[in-house]
Amino acid sequence: MNMADEQLKLENQLCFPVYAASRLITREYQPLLDNLGITYPQYLVLMVLWENDSLPVNDIARKLVLNTNTITPLLKRMEQQGLIIRIRSKKDERKVLVQLTGKGERLKANALQIPEELIKRLSESELKIDDLIRLKENLNSIISLLSK
C-alpha cells in the first residue's frame, strides 16, 4: 500500500472519530430529550434561546453553524409544537425574530439535569473532566477555523 492509499484509510481520518463521537453522544442525549418531547437539534435551538431570547433566525443559524434553509423547517416544527414563535421585526421587515413561548421557557427547568447526566455517563470511562474540557476547547478551535 502506498502513501497516498494510507491517507484514505478510515483509521487515519480525523473526521471519522469526530463524526462517530458526535453521533454516539447525540444517541446518549436522546432518551433524556425524549422525556422532554424534543430532538437534539431542537434542544440546541432552545439552549441558544434560553441564553438570549428573541433572536433573529440568522443569529441562531450562525451560532449553531447551520444554513438558514436547514434551520427554517426546524423552527417551523418547533413553532407547531408551541415551543417558540416567529415574528417579523418591526425595525427591519426582512428579519424574523424567534422567541420562546411559556412552554419553551418551562422546558428549561426540566433540561437542567441533561448536561449532568451526560457528564456522569462520560465520567464512567477513563476520561477525566480535564480531558473532556481540553477536547471541547480543541473542537471549538477546529469549528472556529473551519467556519470562517
- pLDDT band (50, 70, 90) for residue 8: confident
**What is the tens place of the pLDDT at every residue in 44-101?**
999 999 999 999 999 999 999 999 899 999 999 999 999 999 999 888 888 999 999 9
Residue 43, phi then psi, degrees to nearest 5? -60, -45
Residue boundaries of the structural domains of the chain: 12-146
User: Tell me, what's the pLDDT at 125?
Assistant: 77
Mean pLDDT of 9-34: 91
| Dist CA 100 CA 80 (whole Å) | 13
| pTM strictly above 0.75 | yes
Task: Enumerate residues 6+ apart whose C-beta is below 8 A from 61.
Answer: 67, 68, 70, 71
**What is the tens place of the pLDDT at every residue in 90-100?**
888 889 999 99
- The mean of the pLDDT values for the chain is 91
- pLDDT band (50, 70, 90) for residue 132: confident
Q: Is the pLDDT of residue 1 over 70?
A: no
Q: How far is CA 144 from CA 55, 63, 70, 81, in A?
A: 21, 11, 20, 32
User: Tell me, what's the pLDDT at 63?
Assistant: 95
* CATH, range 12-146: 1.10.10.10
- pLDDT band (50, 70, 90) for residue 5: confident
